[in-house]
Every structure is written in C-alpha cells, then in structure tokens.
Amino acid sequence: MPEAALELRGLTKHFGASVTVGPIDLIVRQGEFVTLLGPSGCGKTTTLNMIGGFVTPDAGGIHLAGSPVETLPPWRRDLGIVFQDYALFPHRTVAENIGFGLRMRRVGRAEIARRVYEAMQLVRLDGLGDRRPGQLSGGQRQRVALARALVIRPSLLLLDEPLSNLDLKLREEMRIEISTLQRRLGIAALFVTHDQEEALTMSDRIAVMRGGRIEQLGSAREIYEAPASAFVAGFIGSTNLIRGSVIAPRQPGGTVRVDTGAGPAMIPIVGDLPDGGAVLLMIRPERLKLASPGAAPEGTNAWSAQVVRTIYLGGRMEVRLRLRDGGTAIAYAVNEGETDWDEGEMVDAWFRPRDAWVIPGPAEDSDAQATNCLR
Amino acid sequence: MSRKILWSVVALIYAFMLAPILITAAVSFNAVERSYFPPRGFSLHWWSMAMTPQWTGPFLFSLKLAALSAVATAVLGLPLALALRWPSFRGRGTLQALTLGPLVLPSLVTGIALLQFLTLAGVGNWIGLPALVIGHVVICLPFMVRTLSISLDSIPINAEIAAASLGASRLRVLIEVTLPLARSGGGAGMIFAFISSFDDVNLALFVARPGQTPLTVQIMQFLEYGFSPTLAALSIISLLVPLALVALFGRLVGIGNFIYQDHGHA
C-alpha cells in the first residue's frame, strides 16, 4: 500500500489559554478528496495553515507522502495551495503566474512554456496567457489559481474556501470542474469549506470539525445518514432531532424501543446503547412520511401529529408538524399532485425503523436549539 | 451650464498657477537690465548669462544632490517600510513615530541641528555634499516610508504566502513579489525626494559650503545684490529640467497611477 498523501498525527495549536485547535488525526490517501467542513472558527483554516507551514504547530506531526515536514519552511513542502482570494500576482501575466512555481524549481524555460500551456488547456484558459489577473473575471482568476497550484504537480492540493468568492451559478460549475480535474489527475486534495453542499458534492470523505477537533470523519453518506453527534446531524442538511430514552429489553440483531415525547419508536440496534440512557432520535425530513390517521403502513413507526403549516416549494412540500408533546418536526412531501395537507389537519407522521438514527447521549446545552432544528 | 462653470473654475486655477511662470519666462527675454513686464525689446543675453559656470556649477550640483538624496532615501526607506509592516515587530510604534517625526520639524531647525551636530561630532568636514544628502534624507524619509507603506498595503493578502507555497524562499518572495509591487510607492517617494531636495533652501543655507552650493542657495546669495533677468532665465531652466527628469523617471517606473489615482491591484 502506498504511503498516504497526508498524515496528521495529534496536530495541535494553542491560541492563548482557552482556545485550542487539535489534537487532529487525519489521513488523506493518494488520489483522495477530503474536506474539512465546519463553521467559522472551528479550526479548519488553522489546520490548513499548519499543513502549509504558515502556522507552527505546538505539538504533533505532519507527514506528506510519508516524510515529516513539520520543521520545513513553506517553500520546501511541495504543496499546491488555492486561496480564497486567489492570491494571484497582479504584476505578472497569467502565464507568468502559472509558471511561477516551475521557475522557483529551476525548470528549464522550454519545459515551463510547455507545462504552462498544458495547464492552461486543462483549466480552459487557452489564449489568455498574456492577460493580467486584473483583466480576468472571478471564475477565470479561480482557474489561474488552480492551474498555478496544479502545474507544479504537488503531492497534495490544499484548497482554502476557493469557491466562496464566486456567485452561485459559477460556484456550482467550479465545484464539478475542480473535482473532475482532481479525479482525472489523481491528485490528493484537502478542501476547506463551511458550505455543506460543497462538501457533500465534492468529497470522498468529509471531516466535520467543531471547536478545534474533528467531530466525525466519513463519507458524505455516513455523515448525512449516520451522524455521530447532534452537531453533525444539525450542521449537514435539515433534520428532526427528538429526545428520547432507550427502553429495555433489546435482543442482539433485533430492534430496540426508544420512547419519546412524540410517541414510541422501534429502531434497529446500532452500537452500544445503554438501557434507559438518554438518546436523540434523528429522522431526516425526507424520510418522515405523512398519512391520514390510522393509514400508516404496517411495521412502521407512526406518530400522531397536527399540520401547522405547509410551504409550497415546487418539487416538494415542506410540512411543519406539531408533535404530541408540543415539539415541532418537518416532513418533506414529494409534490405528486395527489395529496394536500391542510393546516390544522391531524395526520400520522410515520417512518420505517431503518429511517431513524439514534445519536447516543443527552442533548448538550449548545445543541438545545438543534433539537427539531429547522435549517 | 454647470460644465461651463466647472471649466471656468479649472481655467482660473490654472491661470493662477501658471501666470507667474509665464511672466517670469517673459521677463527673461528683456533687452534691458531691468525686470520689466511686458519685456522691453527681445534678447537672449540673460539666457546666455544663466549658462555661465557661475550658474551651471550650482545647477549641476543641485541635480546631483537631488539624485543622491532620492536614491539614499529609497535605500533607507525600504527596509524601514518593510520592518514597519512586520506584525510581530516590537519596536514598531516607536520606530514609526521616529520615522514620521521629522515631518513636523521645520527644515530650518533640522538644518541648524545638523550643522551643530556635525560640528560637535567632529565631522565638520562633512559640511557640503554629505551633510546636504543627510539632511535631505531626514526630511524626505517620512514621505518615502508613507508612500512605500501604501504600496505594500495594497499587495493581495495571500500573494506572498502563495509565492512561498510555490517554492519561493523569503528572499525570492521579496524580489519576485514584494518589491515589484512596492515599486510605484518607491518611485513616488523618490520623485518627491528629488523635488524637495532640488527645491530646498532652508536646510541648505546652513550646511552648504563654497564650491558645494546648491542652486537655491546661490540664488539667495545673488539676490542680496539685486535682481536681474538672469534669475528669471535660471528659474525657467530649474523648472523645466527637473520636470523633464521626473517625467522620464515616472514613465520608467510607472508612477502615474500612484500619484493621481490608485486603481489598486485586483
């Protein structure tokens, strides 16, 4: 097995007495696209800066392609970095910008010209080599920055919120373009963003960060469907989080009963759930279905609820429900032109056992607002 | 209508600025040894008088002094501006105050202080060109550091970091990114230093010596005996030659944006 493109071991940085980033352990495999996702201030940019060599870690190791780099200055780390503000050299042409890293590596002039030309074709900038960054559009600047980072064939591509300065449509295009390029070149990439949609669409694996640590590391599907904490569940997508407690008995391989204020639920066992322990029951709005009272399918969990509001969203309806204990929940109903749920109507909100996910532990105070959160 | 008013105001301002120069130019062509306006007769006599060694010596000396001062100011100002930019630099506040301090000091006072200091320090023989350069650097340094700092501040935040990540050592980053982007500020600072050195009389009065006298001081001394149209011719020469030099330099360095309006580097 080849060495990992990047390995972080216990990487830690203290800011004063109270703020700490890390310890962070993370492996980015060859050719893999890993995203650090989190709200601002979660430590993702600090982590990136430590890898880049712009912030000195207080503890821990950074290995790039198998060799330790934590004592190397930035210019010896062989990284391609794309910055949020692109950081192009305004006094140099597009071609000079892209060729900069090669020139620093003392590559011959003809070779530089050839590779710059290739890189410009790669990012679809043909013919713009003589322009200056000031004459380019935002998307073009983004491509120059990308080409400049890729042309040196770095062992790792670091992307620091590269899309946040683009407008929505361009952002969606660049998302696909960057990940297509990354796959085609087979280059390992570490991507930093606070945008969950970017993370979901681009990444092989996502590391959700919070308070300076990685809260969960997994594929987009794992993060979305099996979040490790209420924070992760609430940060990605909309979700219903309902407090409950585990009721004995439970059999191995069987199901467990969770009692909530909205009603009981039977769900498959995942991991170790302490009997009687407090848990959060997560049901994504698209998995929460509605039926007339008593009409929920056999073998599902059905809770009686009242429709508070329905919001027409074109392809789907967002239905806001009041549960038995007064809590709220959201259900997305596909707009099939058949059913309309009237406000005030009593319904059965139902979900299959496997559509619920149990997050162990009681809700932390800071998660209180994430309970039944409406994002 | 409002356009007409605007243009009239502009024309008035220009007339106010240029009329004295035009009058001076006209006076230099008098045929008699009096500064009449309008001039009486036409003669190039005063122009040929202005070209004699009595005047060309100090004129060339002034040009040399101004050029040396401009270069020395840049050489000293650059490290200063770079140091003031360093965020973790401890003496930053103090250094900034010291750098910008001479701005509020009349150059007359600086001249007296410099004369006394050089005498007391036992280097009285520096009076002349070395003392003049030192004095002019002291006067011009605050402007140089300001213009350089403005240029340095306009560098995209991550451009230097990006250069480092692409394999440029600190020195290479300085040469490849920082300095080229600080060029317009440095150029503006040098032009300013050149002009104020060329124009200075207050400080030069104290630290010039015979044989190493700038044109301004020479004119002052000549004025004690009266005014002749020679001075008018001299004024025009000492206006046009530095102007031409500055224009040439500005073209080479690309200063226009800095002085008139900074389009910024996007």
Q: What is the pLDDT of residues A53-88, one digit of tens each?
A: 998 899 888 999 888 998 899 888 889 999 988 899
**Integer Cα distance of B53 and B60 in angstroms:** 10
Question: How many CB pairs (< 8 A) connect A and B?
Answer: 76
The residue ranking higher by pLDDT, B40 or A13, is A13
Residue B43's pLDDT is 84
Residue A303 structure tokens: 């809770």
- Looking at the predicted complex, does its ipTM rise above 0.85? no
Residue from the list A53, A87, A104 with its beta carbon closest to the beta carbon of B159: A87
Residue B124's pLDDT is 83
Distance of CA A10 to the CA centre of its chain: 21
Give the nearest chain B residue to A91 (CA atoms). Answer: B181
What are residue A206's DSSP bridge partners?
Answer: A35, A218
Contact A88 B156 (CB under 8 A): yes
Burial of B12 (0-12, 13-18, 19+ CB in 10 A): exposed
Does B265 have pLDDT greater than 80? Answer: no
> In this predicted model, what pLDDT tens digit does every residue of B62-101 receive, in sequence order?
999 999 999 999 999 999 999 888 777 788 888 888 877 7
> In this predicted model, what pLDDT tens digit does every residue of A230-250 receive, in sequence order?
888 888 888 888 888 887 656
Residue B37's pLDDT is 78
At the topology level, CATH places domain B53-259 in: MetI-like fold (1.10.3720)
DSSP conformational letter for A154:
-
Contacts of residue A195, Cβ cutoff 8 Å, sequence gap at least 6: A37, A163, A164
Q: How confident is the model at residue A39 (pLDDT cuts 50, 70, 90)?
A: confident
Burial of A211 (0-12, 13-18, 19+ CB in 10 A): middle
Q: What residues in chain A have their Cβ under 8 A from chain B's Cβ atoms?
A: 52-54, 73-81, 83-91, 100-101, 104-105, 133-134, 148-149, 152
Q: What pTM does this model have?
A: 0.77
**pLDDT, mean of residues A20-31:** 89
What are residue A302's DSSP bridge partners?
Answer: A350
**Integer Cα distance of A360 and A278 in angstroms:** 7
pLDDT, mean over chain A: 85
- Give the β-pairing of A156-160 and A189-193: parallel
Give me the domains of chain A, ranges plus CATH numbers.
4-225 (3.40.50.300), 238-374 (2.40.50.100)
Euclidean distance between the first and the last CA atom of chain B, given in angstroms as a whole number = 37
Min Cα distance B29 → chain A (Å) is: 48
Q: How confident is the model at residue A370 (pLDDT cuts 50, 70, 90)?
A: very low
Looking from the CA of A202 toward its CB, the CA atoms found within 13 Å total 33
Residue A40 structure tokens: 């601002």
Does A153 have pLDDT greater than 60? Answer: yes
Contact A81 B176 (CB under 8 A): no
R_g (Cα) of chain A, nearest Å? 25
Residue from the list A79, A87, A134 with its beta carbon closest to the beta carbon of B158: A87
Contact B166 A83 (CB under 8 A): no
Min Cα distance A154 → chain B (Å) is: 9
Identify whether the C-beta of residue B265 lies closer than 8 Å to the C-beta of residue A134: yes
Which residues in chain A touch residue B174, judged by CB atoms under 8 angstroms apart? none
Amino acid at the residue B192: F
Euclidean distance between the first and the last CA atom of chain A, given in angstroms as a whole number = 42
Query: Positive or negative CA dihedral for A83, A86, A92, A93?
Result: positive
> In this predicted model, what pLDDT tens digit does every residue of A175-202 receive, in sequence order?
888 888 898 888 999 999 998 888 888 8
Contact B169 A75 (CB under 8 A): yes
Q: Which of residues 94-133 of B touch A (CB under 8 A)?
A: none
Q: How confident is the model at residue B262 (pLDDT cuts 50, 70, 90)?
A: very low
Residue from the list B161, B167, B180 with its beta carbon closest to the beta carbon of A54: B161
Instruction: Please indicate if any CB of chain A lies within 8 Å of the CB of B156.
Output: yes
Contacts of residue A44, Cβ cutoff 8 Å, sequence gap at least 6: A36, A37, A38, A192, A194, A209
**pLDDT, mean of residues A138-154:** 90
The residue ranking higher by pLDDT, A320 or B35, is A320
Strand boundaries in A248-288, DSSP class E: 255-260, 263-268, 278-283
Domain definitions of chain B by residue range: 1-43, 53-259
Q: Report which of B15, B44, B47 is spatially closest to residue B236, judged by C-alpha positions.
A: B47
Planar angle of CA A162, A167, A170, nearest 5 degrees? 75
Helix axes A138-150, A109-122, angle to 10 degrees: 130
